[in-house]
C-alpha cells in the first residue's frame, strides 16, 4: 500500500519467526504474498523477506527454502525490541553475542545463492552501545551485503532521542553500505540523519506510515510540507486499505488496523485526526464503513469514479468479494491432522561461497521497513 504512494528502492516484510523447524513455503508467502508476483508489490517495488531467530543451522535451512521462492532479498532481524520476542532469543536480544551474529550471517549467506542479497538490521545494543561495533563487524565478516542500523538500543525502545552519531561510527568501522534508520518523520529529519551519519541510504519506518508521501517529498516530487491536496490524494489509499483489511481479517480485528494507521496519520493530517476521533470508540465494521462513506472516502476508492489520476490499482482488492464461509464436514467425517513441520536437520555441510562484489548506488535511496 505504501509503495503505491511513494517511490522506494526496496521494502522489507515483517519478520518470519524461525525456531527449530523447517517452515512450509506458505509461512513465507503468508507474510510476503508478493512472492507470488515476482517478489514485487503491485507498484513494482522489490520486497525482501525478513527472518528472525537464534539458531544458525535452522535459519540457514529456512533461508534456503525461502530462496526457492525467489525473494528480492533476505534480511536478518537483530533489531526488534519487543519483550516477548526477546524472551525467546529473537531480535535485539542477541546483541551481546557478536560471535553468534557472525555464525548466523555466515550460515545464511552460505545457504543462499549469491544472486539473492542477504542483509541485516540491528540496533546499537541491548542496554548500551558497548558492543555495537563488534556486532556490526561480525555481521560484515559473516557476509551480509548491507547493514541497516536503527539508532537506538533495545532499552531505548522508541523514545524520541536517537544516537545518530553511533550510526556514523558503524559506517566508518565496516566496509559495506550502512543504511541509517530511526526518527525520520519529515524531510528535515532526512537531511539531518544523512548529515549526522554520512550515510547515502535511509530506511523509513513509522515516518512513511505517518506520511505516505514522505519518500516523494524527499525526492523533491511533492512539496516538503503537507498540504490540503495530500489528504485528497491519500483518501483512495485509505479506502482501499480498509477494503483489504475487511477481506483479510476477522471483523473484530479489522477496526484496530484502520485506527492504528489513522493514529499515525494524525501527526500530519488534521482530517485524519478528526476522523480518528469519530471512529475511535467504534467496533462495528458496518458503522466504520458508513462513517467512511460520510467522509466521501469510499466514493473515491481505487477503481471507482474519482480515483486519483495515476494511482496504481493492480494491488487493489476493493472489489474483491469476501471468501465463502467454510463448509461443515459431513457427519462422521474425520478431520485430517496437519502434518507437523519437520525439525531442522543439523549442521550444514556446504561451505560459504566467497561474498559477491557489491555494486553500491551512491544516489539517495529510499528503503521502506515495516515498523
Per-residue pLDDT averaged across 175-190, rounded? Answer: 98
Kindly state whether residues 168 and 89 are assigned to the same domain: yes
Strands 147-150 and 178-181 turn out to be parallel
| Dist CA 94 CA 109 (whole Å) | 18
What is the per-residue pLDDT for 319? 29
299 confidence band (pLDDT: 50, 70, 90): very low
Domain count, the chain: 2
Q: Of 245, 267, 300, which closes a domain?
A: 300
User: Does the residue 308 lie in any domain?
Assistant: no
When comparing pLDDT for 208 and 297, which is higher? 208
Please choose, from the candidates 49, 44, 42, the residue with its C-alpha nearest in 3D space to the C-alpha of residue 73. Answer: 49
pLDDT at 195 exceeding the cut of 90: yes
User: Does the residue 283 lie in any domain?
Assistant: yes
What is the per-residue pLDDT for 342? 78
* Domain CATH code at residue 29: 3.20.20.70
User: Does the residue 110 lie in any domain?
Assistant: yes
Q: Identify whether the C-beta of residue 137 lies closer than 8 Å to the C-beta of residue 95.
A: no
User: Does the residue 311 lie in any domain?
Assistant: no
When comparing pLDDT for 361 and 244, which is higher? 244
pLDDT at 312 exceeding the cut of 50: no
32 is catalytic: no
User: Does the residue 152 lie in any domain?
Assistant: yes
Kindly state whether residues 210 and 271 are assigned to the same domain: no
Kindly state whether residues 138 and 276 are assigned to the same domain: no
| Dist CA 235 CA 2 (whole Å) | 13
Give the model confidence (pLDDT) of 14-27 as tens digits.
999 999 999 999 99
| Dist CA 177 CA 88 (whole Å) | 30
Q: Of 300, 331, 358, which closes a domain?
A: 300
What is the per-residue pLDDT for 358? 27
pLDDT at 330 exceeding the cut of 50: no
Q: How many CB atoms lie within 10 A of CB 12?
A: 24
Return the top range by mean pLDDT from 119-123, 274-278, 291-295, 355-359.
Answer: 119-123
Kindly state whether residues 54 and 171 are assigned to the same domain: yes
Please choose, from the candidates 88, 43, 345, the residue with its C-alpha nearest in 3D space to the C-alpha of residue 212. Answer: 43
- With a pLDDT cut of 90, the percent of the chain lying above it is 75
User: Does the residue 249 lie in any domain?
Assistant: yes
Which contiguous run of DSSP H or E holds residue 365?
A: strand 365-369
When comparing pLDDT for 322 and 276, which is higher? 276
User: Does the residue 313 lie in any domain?
Assistant: no
What is the per-residue pLDDT for 292? 85
Per-residue pLDDT averaged across 11-38, rounded? Answer: 96
Q: Of 239, 270, 300, which closes a domain?
A: 300
Kindly state whether residues 184 and 295 are assigned to the same domain: no
Kindly state whether residues 23 and 139 are assigned to the same domain: yes
* Domain CATH code at residue 256: 1.20.225
Kindly state whether residues 237 and 279 are assigned to the same domain: yes
Reading the block at residue 6, the C-alpha cell is 511513494
289: exposed, middle or buried (Cβ count in 10 Å: 0-12, 13-18, 19+): middle
**What is the domain extent for residue 252?**
228-300
Give the model confidence (pLDDT) of 123-162 as tens digits.
999 999 999 999 999 999 999 999 999 999 999 999 988 9
Per-residue pLDDT averaged across 290-294, rounded? Answer: 85
Per-residue pLDDT averaged across 45-54, rounded? Answer: 98
pLDDT at 314 exceeding the cut of 50: no
Instruction: Identify the active-site residue in 58, 80, 135, 344.
Output: 80
pLDDT at 242 exceeding the cut of 60: yes
366 confidence band (pLDDT: 50, 70, 90): low
339 confidence band (pLDDT: 50, 70, 90): low
Out of 186-190, 197-201, 343-347, 354-358, least confident range: 354-358
Kindly state whether residues 80 and 217 are assigned to the same domain: yes
Kindly state whether residues 212 and 249 are assigned to the same domain: no
Kindly state whether residues 194 and 245 are assigned to the same domain: no
pLDDT at 300 exceeding the cut of 60: no
Kindly state whether residues 109 and 186 are assigned to the same domain: yes
Kindly state whether residues 267 and 214 are assigned to the same domain: no
What is the per-residue pLDDT for 368? 65
Q: How many CB atoms lie within 10 A of CB 266?
A: 17
> For residue 127, what are the CA distances in angstroms to 131, 157, 270, 313, 371?
10, 10, 37, 45, 21
What is the per-residue pLDDT for 38? 98
User: Does the residue 145 lie in any domain?
Assistant: yes
Please choose, from the candidates 98, 190, 200, the residue with its C-alpha nearest in 3D space to the C-alpha of residue 148. Answer: 200
b/e per residue 141-179 (b: at least 16 CB within 10 A): ebbbbbbbbbbbbbebeeeeebbbebbbbbbeebebbbb
Amino acid at each position: 500500500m505504501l509503495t503505491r504512494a511513494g517511490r522506494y528502492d526496496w521494502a522489507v516484510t515483517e519478520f518470519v519467526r524461525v525456531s527449530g523447524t523447517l517452515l512450509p513455503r506458505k509461512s513465507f508467502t503468508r507474510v510476503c504474498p508478493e512472492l507470488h508476483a515476482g517478489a514485487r508489490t503491485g507498484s513494482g517495488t522489490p520486497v525482501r523477506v525478513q527472518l528472525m531467530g537464534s539458531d544458525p543451522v535452522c535459519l540457514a535451512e529456512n533461508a534456503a527454502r525461502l530462496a526457492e521462492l525467489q525473494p528480492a532479498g533476505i534480511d536478518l532481524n537483530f533489531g526488534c525490541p519487543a519483550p516477548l520476542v526477546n524472551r525467546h532469543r529473537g531480535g535485539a536480544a542477541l546483541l551481546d553475542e557478536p560471535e553468534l551474529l557472525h555464525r548466523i550471517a555466515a550460515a545464511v549467506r552460505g545457504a543462499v545463492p549469491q544472486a539473492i542479497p542477504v542483509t541485516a538490521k540491528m540496533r546499537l545494543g541491548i542496554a548500551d552501545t558497548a558492543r555495537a561495533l563488534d556486532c556490526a563487524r561480525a555481521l560484515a565478516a559473516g557476509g551480509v551485503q548491507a547493514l541497516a542500523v536503527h539508532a537506538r538500543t533495545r532499552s531505548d525502545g522508541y523514545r524520541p532521542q536517537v544516537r545518530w552519531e553511533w550510526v556514523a561510527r558503524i559506517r566508518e568501522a565496516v566496509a559495506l553500505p550502512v543504511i541509517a534508520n530511526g526518527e525520520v518523520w519529515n524531510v528535515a529529519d532526512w537531511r539531518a540523519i544523512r548529515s549526522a551519519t554520512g550515510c547515502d541510504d535511509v530506511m523509513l519506518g513509522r515516518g512513511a506510515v505517518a506520511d505516505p508521501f514522505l519518500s516523494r517529498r524527499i525526492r523533491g516530487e511533492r512539496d516538503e510540507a503537507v498540504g490540503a491536496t495530500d489528504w485528497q490524494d491519500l483518501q483512495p489509499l485509505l479506502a482501499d486499505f480498509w477494503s483489504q483489511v475487511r477481506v483479510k481479517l476477522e471483523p473484530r480485528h479489522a477496526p484496530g488496523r484502520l485506527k492504528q494507521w489513522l493514529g499515525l496519520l494524525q501527526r500530519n493530517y488534521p482530517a485524519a485526526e478528526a476522523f480518528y476521533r469519530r471512529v475511535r470508540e467504534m467496533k462495528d465494521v458496518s458503522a466504520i464503513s458508513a462513517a467512511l462513506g460520510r467522509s466521501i472516502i469510499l466514493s473515491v476508492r481505487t477503481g471507482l469514479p474519482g480515483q486519483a489520476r495515476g494511482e496504481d490499482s493492480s494491488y487493489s482488492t476493493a472489489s474483491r468479494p469476501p471468501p465463502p464461509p467454510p463448509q461443515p464436514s459431513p457427519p462422521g467425517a474425520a478431520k485430517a491432522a496437519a502434518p507437523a513441520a519437520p525439525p531442522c536437520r543439523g549442521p550444514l555441510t556446504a561451505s560459504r561461497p566467497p561474498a559477491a562484489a557489491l555494486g553500491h548506488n551512491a544516489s539517495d535511496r529510499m528503503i521502506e521497513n515495516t515498523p
